[in-house]
Amino acid sequence: MRYAGYRERGPLSFGSPDFKQLNTKRTAPTEDVSFSRAVPAYPLLQFWTLSVYYTLTDINVFEATGHLVDRNNTKCGFVTLDGFEETTVFESKEPFHIILLSELDRNPYSEDMDRQYNDRYPEKAGEWRYYNVLLLEWQGGIAERRGFDVIFQGAVEGSLPPRPLWTEIFLA
Protein backbone atom coordinates (compact mmCIF):
# COMPACT_ATOMS: atom_id res chain seq x y z
CA MET A 1 0.00 0.00 0.00
CA ARG A 2 1.28 3.51 -0.82
CA TYR A 3 0.51 6.49 1.35
CA ALA A 4 -0.04 9.99 0.05
CA GLY A 5 2.50 12.34 1.59
CA TYR A 6 5.04 9.67 2.56
CA ARG A 7 8.29 9.37 0.69
CA GLU A 8 11.18 6.98 0.62
CA ARG A 9 14.26 8.14 2.52
CA GLY A 10 17.85 7.43 1.73
CA PRO A 11 20.46 6.69 4.38
CA LEU A 12 21.64 9.49 6.64
CA SER A 13 24.37 11.59 5.06
CA PHE A 14 26.26 12.49 8.23
CA GLY A 15 28.03 10.81 11.11
CA SER A 16 30.32 7.82 11.47
CA PRO A 17 30.12 4.86 9.05
CA ASP A 18 28.15 2.84 11.64
CA PHE A 19 25.73 5.71 12.09
CA LYS A 20 25.24 6.06 8.32
CA GLN A 21 24.12 2.41 8.24
CA LEU A 22 21.04 3.27 10.30
CA ASN A 23 17.97 2.23 8.31
CA THR A 24 15.81 5.35 7.90
CA LYS A 25 13.79 4.22 4.89
CA ARG A 26 10.60 3.50 6.80
CA THR A 27 8.30 6.54 6.83
CA ALA A 28 4.80 5.08 6.38
CA PRO A 29 2.77 4.58 9.56
CA THR A 30 2.25 1.23 11.24
CA GLU A 31 -1.40 0.37 10.64
CA ASP A 32 -2.13 -2.11 13.41
CA VAL A 33 -1.15 -0.59 16.74
CA SER A 34 -2.29 -1.12 20.29
CA PHE A 35 -1.43 0.69 23.47
CA SER A 36 -1.37 -0.39 27.10
CA ARG A 37 -3.27 2.73 28.13
CA ALA A 38 -6.40 4.53 27.03
CA VAL A 39 -5.95 6.46 23.81
CA PRO A 40 -6.71 10.18 24.24
CA ALA A 41 -9.95 11.53 22.76
CA TYR A 42 -7.94 13.75 20.41
CA PRO A 43 -5.86 12.51 17.43
CA LEU A 44 -2.29 11.31 17.98
CA LEU A 45 0.51 12.62 15.80
CA GLN A 46 2.18 9.57 14.25
CA PHE A 47 5.58 9.96 12.52
CA TRP A 48 9.11 8.57 12.19
CA THR A 49 12.23 10.43 13.32
CA LEU A 50 15.68 9.97 14.77
CA SER A 51 15.75 9.29 18.53
CA VAL A 52 18.71 9.84 20.84
CA TYR A 53 19.18 9.45 24.59
CA TYR A 54 20.81 11.79 27.11
CA THR A 55 20.73 12.45 30.83
CA LEU A 56 19.57 15.74 32.30
CA THR A 57 21.76 17.81 34.62
CA ASP A 58 21.88 21.27 36.17
CA ILE A 59 18.09 21.35 36.50
CA ASN A 60 16.78 24.72 37.60
CA VAL A 61 13.33 23.97 39.01
CA PHE A 62 12.45 27.67 39.20
CA GLU A 63 13.15 28.31 35.51
CA ALA A 64 12.32 24.71 34.40
CA THR A 65 15.59 24.40 32.45
CA GLY A 66 18.48 21.97 32.31
CA HIS A 67 21.39 20.70 30.24
CA LEU A 68 21.51 17.47 28.25
CA VAL A 69 24.61 15.32 28.80
CA ASP A 70 25.99 12.71 26.38
CA ARG A 71 27.75 9.38 26.99
CA ASN A 72 31.09 11.20 27.50
CA ASN A 73 29.50 13.24 30.31
CA THR A 74 29.69 16.30 28.05
CA LYS A 75 26.97 18.93 28.04
CA CYS A 76 25.58 18.77 24.53
CA GLY A 77 22.33 20.71 24.64
CA PHE A 78 19.84 22.76 26.53
CA VAL A 79 16.25 21.91 27.42
CA THR A 80 13.27 23.91 28.64
CA LEU A 81 10.99 21.64 30.65
CA ASP A 82 7.21 21.80 30.43
CA GLY A 83 6.33 22.02 34.09
CA PHE A 84 5.83 20.09 37.26
CA GLU A 85 2.50 18.33 36.84
CA GLU A 86 2.21 14.64 35.93
CA THR A 87 5.92 14.14 35.22
CA THR A 88 8.91 12.39 36.73
CA VAL A 89 11.39 14.46 34.72
CA PHE A 90 12.71 16.37 37.71
CA GLU A 91 13.45 13.23 39.74
CA SER A 92 14.61 10.79 37.03
CA LYS A 93 18.26 9.75 36.74
CA GLU A 94 17.58 7.55 33.69
CA PRO A 95 18.44 8.69 30.15
CA PHE A 96 15.69 10.67 28.45
CA HIS A 97 14.25 9.92 25.04
CA ILE A 98 14.96 12.90 22.78
CA ILE A 99 13.66 13.20 19.21
CA LEU A 100 15.13 15.36 16.47
CA LEU A 101 12.68 17.70 14.76
CA SER A 102 14.64 20.03 12.47
CA GLU A 103 17.97 21.68 11.86
CA LEU A 104 18.77 25.11 13.27
CA ASP A 105 21.62 27.56 12.73
CA ARG A 106 21.20 29.81 15.77
CA ASN A 107 18.98 29.91 18.85
CA PRO A 108 18.47 32.14 21.90
CA TYR A 109 21.19 30.23 23.78
CA SER A 110 23.69 30.06 20.87
CA GLU A 111 26.24 32.44 22.29
CA ASP A 112 26.29 30.77 25.72
CA MET A 113 26.39 27.27 24.22
CA ASP A 114 29.09 28.17 21.70
CA ARG A 115 31.22 29.84 24.37
CA GLN A 116 30.94 26.90 26.76
CA TYR A 117 31.05 23.93 24.37
CA ASN A 118 32.60 25.04 21.07
CA ASP A 119 35.77 23.03 21.70
CA ARG A 120 33.68 19.84 22.07
CA TYR A 121 31.42 20.44 19.09
CA PRO A 122 33.29 22.67 16.62
CA GLU A 123 31.28 24.36 13.90
CA LYS A 124 31.73 22.89 10.41
CA ALA A 125 31.57 25.16 7.37
CA GLY A 126 28.38 24.82 5.35
CA GLU A 127 26.54 22.75 7.97
CA TRP A 128 23.73 23.55 10.36
CA ARG A 129 24.85 23.91 13.97
CA TYR A 130 21.98 22.50 16.06
CA TYR A 131 18.85 20.35 16.06
CA ASN A 132 15.53 21.41 17.51
CA VAL A 133 14.49 18.58 19.82
CA LEU A 134 11.66 17.34 22.03
CA LEU A 135 12.19 15.53 25.32
CA LEU A 136 9.60 12.74 25.60
CA GLU A 137 8.12 10.68 28.38
CA TRP A 138 6.38 7.44 27.37
CA GLN A 139 3.17 6.22 28.97
CA GLY A 140 1.63 3.01 27.69
CA GLY A 141 3.25 3.25 24.24
CA ILE A 142 2.24 6.88 23.71
CA ALA A 143 4.80 9.69 23.92
CA GLU A 144 4.09 12.93 25.73
CA ARG A 145 6.18 16.08 25.39
CA ARG A 146 8.02 17.02 28.57
CA GLY A 147 10.43 19.62 27.17
CA PHE A 148 11.95 21.17 24.07
CA ASP A 149 15.04 23.05 22.88
CA VAL A 150 18.31 22.29 21.10
CA ILE A 151 21.33 20.00 20.92
CA PHE A 152 24.54 20.32 18.95
CA GLN A 153 24.38 18.25 15.78
CA GLY A 154 27.72 16.67 16.66
CA ALA A 155 26.18 15.32 19.87
CA VAL A 156 23.99 12.78 18.05
CA GLU A 157 26.85 10.29 17.90
CA GLY A 158 27.36 10.72 21.66
CA SER A 159 23.89 9.37 22.43
CA LEU A 160 23.63 7.02 25.37
CA PRO A 161 22.46 3.43 24.69
CA PRO A 162 20.52 2.30 22.80
CA ARG A 163 22.28 4.90 20.62
CA PRO A 164 20.54 6.74 17.76
CA LEU A 165 17.47 4.88 16.50
CA TRP A 166 14.96 5.46 13.71
CA THR A 167 11.76 5.44 15.75
CA GLU A 168 8.03 5.60 15.12
CA ILE A 169 6.48 8.14 17.46
CA PHE A 170 2.86 8.30 18.64
CA LEU A 171 2.70 11.77 20.20
CA ALA A 172 -0.22 12.80 22.39
From residue 156, how far is each of 72, 127, 131 by CA, in Å?
12, 14, 9
Tell me the H-state helices in 21-150. Answer: 110-117
Q: What is the pLDDT of residues 34-48, one digit of tens each?
A: 899 998 999 999 999
In this structure, the number of other CB atoms found within 10 A of the CB of residue 120 comes to 15
Does 161 have pLDDT greater than 50? yes
pLDDT at 1: 38
Nearest to 102 by CA among 133, 127, 78: 133
pTM given for the model: 0.83
Nearest to 134 by CA among 47, 31, 32: 47
Residue type at position 159: S
Q: What is the pLDDT of residues 103-117, one digit of tens each?
A: 888 766 666 666 666
Number of helices followed by number of strands (H, E) in the chain: 2, 7
From residue 101, how far is each of 50, 131, 132, 153 by CA, in Å?
8, 7, 5, 12
- Local confidence band at 160 (pLDDT 50, 70, 90 cut-offs): very high
